[in-house]
Structures are given as structure tokens and as C-alpha cells.
Amino acid sequence: MSYKIIILKNPEKLIDKKCDKHLKMRLFKKLLKLENTPRSYAKPLRSPLDGIWEIYFERRWRILFEIDEENKLIKIVGFKHKDEMK
């Protein structure tokens, strides 16, 4: 069974603000890969961010998400440029 992807409000605003339409299309294609097997493309974060997973996009962007097994949801909780992570 596949997961449903939900982008929370704050990451959605950042995506709209920082991505042109071509980058958004590539981003959504990347997110669609998560629908069936989210753990195969991602890496779990360590404490204090237990429960958060990350994938990199275009070598510059980091997408943070939570996996809700019970409801089969993937919640996108963060979207950051690699330079903003420092």
C-alpha cells in the first residue's frame, strides 16, 4: 500500500518562495518516489530529531519528513537549502 504525501504549511511556503516552476516539478517527482518505499530513499536523523527522515534533492536541498505508519502518511516538515543548515 502506498503512502499519501502531505506538505505542511511552512515547507510549502518555502518551496513556493525559493523554487521556480521547473525545480518544483523535479521536486514533486522526487517526492512521488517516496510514496511506495519512503525508507529506501531516505536516511533517519539522530537524537534530538528521532522520527525525522531526510532526503537530498539536487545536491542543494534537504527535505525533512515524518512517516506515519498507522495512517500511511508522509508529512513533509522541512525544506532547506544546504547553506541554511549551518
Query: What is the rounded distance in angstroms from the CA atom of residue 51 to the CA atom of residue 77?
Result: 11
Complete edge-to-edge strand list for the sheet that includes strand 61-68: 4-7, 73-81, 61-68, 52-57, 43-44
Task: Give tens-digit pLDDT for 3-58.
Answer: 999 999 998 998 888 889 999 999 989 888 889 888 888 999 988 888 999 999 88
Domain count, the chain: 1
Range of the domain at 62: 4-85
> What's this model's pTM, rounded to 2 decimal places?
0.85
What CATH code is carried by the domain that includes residue 68? 3.30.2310.20
What lies within 8 Å, CB to CB, of 2 at 6+ separation is 35, 36, 72
Residue type, position 27, single letter:
L
Whether residue 1 is predicted with pLDDT greater than 90 in this model: the reply is no
